Amino acid sequence: MNHPTAWPTTWRRPPMFVANPTLRFGGWFLFAAYLAWSVDSLNIDWTRVAQGLPRAGDMLNRMFPPDISRWDLLVRGVVESVEMAVAATFIGMILAVPLGLCGAANLAPRPVYLAARTLIVLSRTFHEVIIAIFFVKVFGFGPLAGLLTLIVASVSFISKMIAEDIENMNMGQIEAVRATGASFPKLLIYAVQPQILPRYLGVCIYRLDANLRHSTVVGIVGAGGIGMTLSATFKRYDYDFSLTILLAIMALVFLGEFFSNWIRGRLR
């Protein structure tokens, strides 16, 4: 028995993305050039960075053991954060409905659609902390600014989801209800609402979880909640209390995520 040709005895893994070697190596070259340029242009103070490791060690030293003597401050901050998140989610989920309807291309007239989408994009672009600082300037320090920030963030997120769901829904049901001579509000209640409600509730619960995370950070610019306490401890080098707050935030976010997953699992 003679084989016609010798089989290859070694195998080389083919490249995963770009088959053309010139393009692949060119890509690597560009990547290296970008790295060099960006690191060079950032003016990093390497001597200060080199002190980082001992400083981190020192910080860890000061963090342990976590300080729980000021638990009343901690509880007050956490409760305020939770309340901001709950209230903002509730108000946001109500306000998001009309905006979501306006942002759906298949329901709203063109100018309304464009206006609603612009509003959604504008408020989604800016980070919560930027929005928070403006509310702090207008309404002063405190949870009101944080509440309004989270409301803006919730409305833009939930209404975008509503608009997309409406655009993707089954138009047959709309036609069927319309054929009975139903008015526009009846159309919304009997044809649109049953199709989007389960996902809408899911999105709202998800947003509650997201608001809980963000409520811990808007305080850094003075908009209430546990973040205000946390940033104060960092300013005073109270690292042992910082660690307590960080652990509390981790527990809070973990519980929030657990709760959100549980409810969304039941909704499905």
Give the footprint of other proteins on this chain (CB under 8 A). Answer: 13, 16-17, 34-35, 38-39, 41-45, 48-49, 51-52, 55-56, 59, 79-80, 82-84, 86-87, 89-91, 121-122, 125-127, 129-130, 133-134, 137-140, 142-144, 147, 194, 213-214, 216-217, 220-221, 224, 227, 230-231, 234, 239, 246, 249-250, 252-254
Report the residue number, 4 or 235, with the smaller CB distance to other proteins: 235
With respect to other proteins, which residue has the nearer C-beta, 4 or 182? 182
Phi, psi of 139 (to 5 degrees): -105, 0
Q: How far is the CB of 147 from other proteins (least distance, A)?
A: 7
Please state, as a whole number, how many other Cβ atoms lie within 10 Å of the Cβ of residue 204: 23
Classified as helix, coil or strand, 222 is coil
Considering the complex, what minimum distance in angstroms separates the CB of residue 168 from other proteins?
Answer: 17
In 3-state terms the chain splits into helix, strand, coil percentages (rounded to 5) of 75, 0, 25
CB nearer to other proteins: give 1 or 138. 138
Q: Which is nearer to other proteins, 1 or 169 (CB)?
A: 169
User: At closest approach, how far in Å is the CB of 227 from other proteins?
Assistant: 7
Largest separation between any pair of C-alpha atoms in the chain: 91
CA distances from 183 to 24, 74, 101, 188 (A): 60, 52, 16, 9
Report, in Å, the least distance between residue 250 CB and other proteins. 4
Nearest partner of 121 among 113, 132, 129, judged by Cα: 113
CA distances from 136 to 119, 143, 159, 213 (A): 21, 9, 24, 19
C-alpha 126/C-alpha 120 separation (Å) is 11
Residue with tokens 């138009």: 171
Q: Give dist(CA 208, CA 66) in Å, integer.
A: 28
Q: What does R_g of the chain's alpha carbons equal in angstroms? A: 27
Nearer to other proteins, 3 or 48 (CB): 48
Compute the least distance from the CB of residue 230 to other proteins, in Å.
7
| Nearest CB to other proteins, comparing residues 13 and 268 | 13
Of 4 and 188, the one with the shorter C-beta distance to other proteins is: 188
State in angstroms the smallest separation of the CB of 2 from other proteins.
26
8 Å CB contact between 73 and 229: yes
Q: How far is the CB of 138 from other proteins (least distance, A)?
A: 5
